[in-house]
Amino acid sequence: MGITEVHETESLDLDPNPRHVDVAELGDYLLGRWADIRKAAREFIRDPEMQGQTGLTVAEHRARVFAQLQRLADRGVVHRAFPVDVGGFEDHGGHLAAFEELVAADPSMQIKAGVQWGLFASAIQHLGSKEHQARWLPDALSLRLPGIYAMTETGHGSDVANIATTATFDDETEEWIIHTPFRGAWKDYLGNAALHGKAAVVFAQLITKNVNHGVHAFFVPIRDDNGDFYTGIGGNDDGVKGGLNGIDNGRLHFDHVRVPRTNLLNRYGDVAPDGTYTSPIASPGRRFFTMLGTLVQGRVSLDGASVNAMKIALQIAVTYGNQRRQFDAPHGGEQVLLDYQRHQRRLIPRIASTYAASFAHGELLEKFDAVFGGSHDTDEHRQDLETLAAALKPLSTWQALDTIQECREACGGQGFLAENRLVGLRADLDIYATFEGDNNVLLQLVAKRLLTDFGMKLSKADRSTLVKFVVGKAADRTLSSSGLRRLSQDIHDLGSTARAVGQLRDEDTQRDLLTDRVESMISDLAEELRNAKKSGTLVETTAARQSAIIDAAIAHAELLQWEAFTDALPGIHDDDTREVLTWVRNLFGLGLVEKHMAWYLLNGRLSAARGHAVTAYVDRLIARLRPHAQELVDAFGYGPEHLRAEIATGVEQSRQDEARAYFGQLRDAGLEPMPEKKP
């Protein structure tokens, strides 16, 4: 039986009993644990004064965003994560949930708020002492002390361990001497640095008694109340950027600037008046990663903001696609864009990936709150959180850029108008892929953790387990080369495509396909690198296999998203809604298999016939979900005041109705001109 001959309604055809999605229930479910906080944040940014405007000059945009930050501070919106004794609530998850919603107002405002309270103030909180918190946090929270997070250098971005700025201790005066020894050491791309910042948390190599103890953070006053740099400090404006121009990014350099010994944020390393260094963490490497790990919230929040940006873009594009008509429809008139298969192929799989990213972010935010809230604050849980954030942030930021661009193109010329948000949103989110950790660098960290865990598993195995592993690898190759791996596909492919689809629809089958790819990629790399280590070519082999290492980390992150989606399904109480979301999950999972079809075919995991079945079922799932596309994006819950896109307000429907009424009146009145060529 060929693929096109399948007629089993249960497996492939459109559902004869249409399901109804409970948009309200699904919307609340998507908001997650901190639903009330997200709703309050969305309500707050309905105020036009909190929203971005098109057509502003850079100076006007910066002034508007700074005024918006003051409103955030005055309303206490930014205090939620901070200690009670400085006016906070110590609600870390709720703080990020509210912060992520600001992307709907203006990404410039969101990121500048992130610089002020998510980086500058949080560095004081997490890296400083109680004395530091009491001295500087109140002013940082109120915005009386606009701050700069001075980590990145022109010559060192993601490679923080090798930054060149130094902080050398002078034990005679008990002062730190902050110095940028050459142009590449200038602190660069710093929010608040060009205009508003009065103080900075400066990351530098701590040197005392002629010993470098690695990167530490120092509180350094930058400007006086008149906006003038203090002696020894200079800088300039980064100028116009590709997006986020409401943020005053700039550069700073230091010429032997002196600050008191007590300005070292000393939670993880301190220096006595005589210059003696002490730390509660003996290992320099572990100390460095612990200090940076306290600031993982930046990656967590970018993951969430990217998911929200995808939701906004899809809500705009699907709404427009359900109203805009173009070309002749089969039954007369013009056809709605979303009724075209290609238009469905462009948008509906991206709805599926957005749901997957949303549920994965919910799990990430829960883990973040557990670690920083104290219920699971252990080294192991912190490492797990760092790895999860490093896995999901690259996927969601790349997915956001891809989704927004596809939505822009799907809206044609209307999508290119600034008034419809998509081009501005795409420009503002562009930098998300490379700040708070370049995506490719983060994925290498993920792969390193996966390889380390795999190696530890084997190192603890007894001889019989190792023998089974070796035999299993050999059997793996034999089965793969014959195309019989795991699913006995050749046997099933002799039957109907419907039976093949029935198996592909199975949750365990999808998990097997996705998990097998990750495990195979990691085990193959581990074996190759282990052999390279024995032969003394580890560095060269690692460099040569860098792309494969990153691909393995991406496969792992995709599996995490699929698992999060699957884990979320039982929590949906409405039967119809849960069934529709199961179709969405299947579309996401099998869409990943289709995306990586070359790997499955080349490695013998799928036969050609089964590969065709995957694509056939993906197409049928998309068609089945087409009637639910609007419900699925409406559940994202953004109103017209959040979308702020004319084409998502219903104006296109009005235009189409007007056009159809006009031509209908012409026909009814017998005034419609005759076509040159009769059909």
Does 367 score more than 80 pLDDT?
yes
Mean pLDDT score, 435-458? 88
User: Cα-flanking dihedrals φ and ψ of residue 191, to 5°?
Assistant: -65, 140
pLDDT > 60? residue 475: no
- Please check whether residue 109 lies inside any domain of the structure: no
pLDDT for position 584: 98
SS3 labels along 206-247: EEECCEEEEEEEEEEECECCCCCECCCEEEEECCCCCCCCCC
Of 227, 259, 293, the position where a domain reaches its end is 293
Express each pLDDT in 161-177 by its tens digit: 999 999 999 999 999 99
Question: Does the residue 31 lie in any domain?
Answer: no
pLDDT at residue 376 in the model: 85
Final residue of a domain: which of 253, 268, 293? 293
For the cut 90, the answer to whether the pLDDT of residue 17 exceeds it is no
Confidence (pLDDT) at 468: 52
Rounded distance, CA 187 to CA 154, Å?
A: 6
Q: Which residues contact 267 (CB under 8 A, 6 or more apart)?
A: 126, 127, 128, 129
pLDDT band at 1 (very low <50, low <70, confident <90, very high): very low
Domain that holds residue 453: 3-7+438-634
pLDDT of 488 over the 60 cut: no
pLDDT given for residue 330 in this prediction: 81
Q: Which residues, 6+ apart, have CB-to-CB distance to 245 below 8 Å?
A: 58, 61, 62, 108
| pLDDT of res. 493 | 42
Which phi and psi (to 5°) does residue 334 adopt?
A: -105, 155
Question: Which has more pLDDT, 105 or 656?
Answer: 105
473 pLDDT above the threshold of 70? no
Kindly tell me if the per-residue pLDDT of 239 is higher than 90.
yes
Q: What is the pLDDT of residue 317?
A: 97
- Average pLDDT on 201-228 reads 97
- The more confidently predicted of residues 17 and 645 is 645
Q: Tell which wins on pLDDT, 204 or 380.
A: 204
Q: Which pLDDT belongs to residue 16?
A: 63
| Domain containing residue 514: CATH number | 1.20.140.10
Among candidate residues 252, 269, 293, the one where a domain is terminated: 293
User: Which contiguous run of DSSP H or E holds residue 474?
Assistant: helix 463-482
Please check whether residue 472 lies inside any domain of the structure: yes
Tell me, yes or no, whether 111 lies in a domain. no
Q: State the CB neighbour count (10 A cutoff) for residue 280.
A: 10
Q: What are phi and psi of 564, to 5 degrees?
A: -65, -40
Q: In this structure, is residue 640 part of a structural domain?
A: no
pLDDT, tens only, 302-347:
999 999 999 999 999 999 999 988 888 787 778 899 999 999 999 9
pLDDT class of 293 with cuts at 50, 70, 90: confident
Domain count, the chain: 2
Q: Is the pLDDT of residue 472 over 90?
A: no
Average pLDDT over every residue of 498-511: 80
With 90 as the cut, is the pLDDT of residue 457 above it? no
What CATH number corresponds to the domain at position 271?
Answer: 2.40.110.10
Comparing 221 with 458, the larger pLDDT belongs to 221
- Please report which helix (H) or strand (E) contains residue 200, including its range: strand 199-208
Q: What is the pLDDT of residues 36-60, one digit of tens each?
A: 999 999 999 999 999 999 999 999 9
